[in-house]
Amino acid sequence: MVGATASTSTLKQIALGMHVSQHEPRIFNVPNVRGQPVAERVELTETTTSFVGTSAGQDANFWLGRRQDLEERRRLEATRDFVQYRPQINSTDEQDRALADLRFLINRHGHTGVDLWDPYLSAEDLLRTLFFCCHSNAPLRALTDGRDPPRDATQECSTPEEPAAPNPPFPDRQRVVFERDAGNREGLRLEYRTRRGPKGWHFHDRFLIFPNLRDGPRAWSLGTSVNSLGKAHHILQRVSNPAMVAGAFEDLWAALDEPQHVVWRSW
């Protein structure tokens, strides 16, 4: 009775894998952190795969899987759990879409607080992102490494007619922008810190973090700095270990606890 009514499947194909160690290793030199060559050796394995039986081909299960993949892709894009940006020449559409997606996440999850972590984070970046948080007095924290982004190749090749004036320190330039554009700061509780001096450590990754949600932290990897959103191919994706990311941010934030580390506060 069970065999006649239950949903069953028939084994149609088996994949067999064979791994064979090769006698000759790969030998090469790698520069260490001091630039000195170090000999390395990698043992090699050759893998072959053979199939026994007939392929299922594009049967009903194949198309069901395709439809499920498409539905999952749409769900990930709707929640912004996984979004790709592919900019086109002479178009800023992807830049606008990427910023809109960040603002969507900030307003959807930011009622208990938002952390933005980016080595090149500037005042202009914060005006484009955290200033759009609609949750009044939600704690907003921003962390930068105090570095200007790399210059474009066109800028590097251009030769100024006169020597450029000395650039003011990074924190001072950010404060000028805030004083000019921060507006009335209504309901804004934003603190912006930078790594400076012997405390803290350099960082590279870029994250949008929601550390205080009721069901635990959530975090998204930006795939690029805020100033580069949508300008080159990158992926915005939700990370699978948000508590670890939130904890790493908290460790660095706590280490940068002196007045010299505070670039700007909204209060």
pLDDT in tens, 237-254: 999 999 999 999 999 999
Q: Are 130 and 105 in contact (CB under 8 A)?
A: no
Of 253, 249, 255, nearest to 218 by C-alpha is: 249
- Tell me the whole-structure pTM to 2 decimals: 0.78
Domains annotated for the chain, with CATH where assigned, are 12-53 (no CATH), 82-149+169-265 (3.30.870.10)
- Give bridge partners of residue 210 from the DSSP assignment: 218
Helix H or strand E encompassing 66: helix 60-79
Chunked into runs of 10 residues, the chain (267 residues) has average pLDDT values of 58 81 91 90 90 67 66 80 94 95 96 97 96 97 92 54 76 96 96 93 96 97 96 96 98 96 96
pLDDT in tens, 4-59: 555 566 667 787 888 899 999 989 899 988 889 999 999 999 988 888 876 655 66
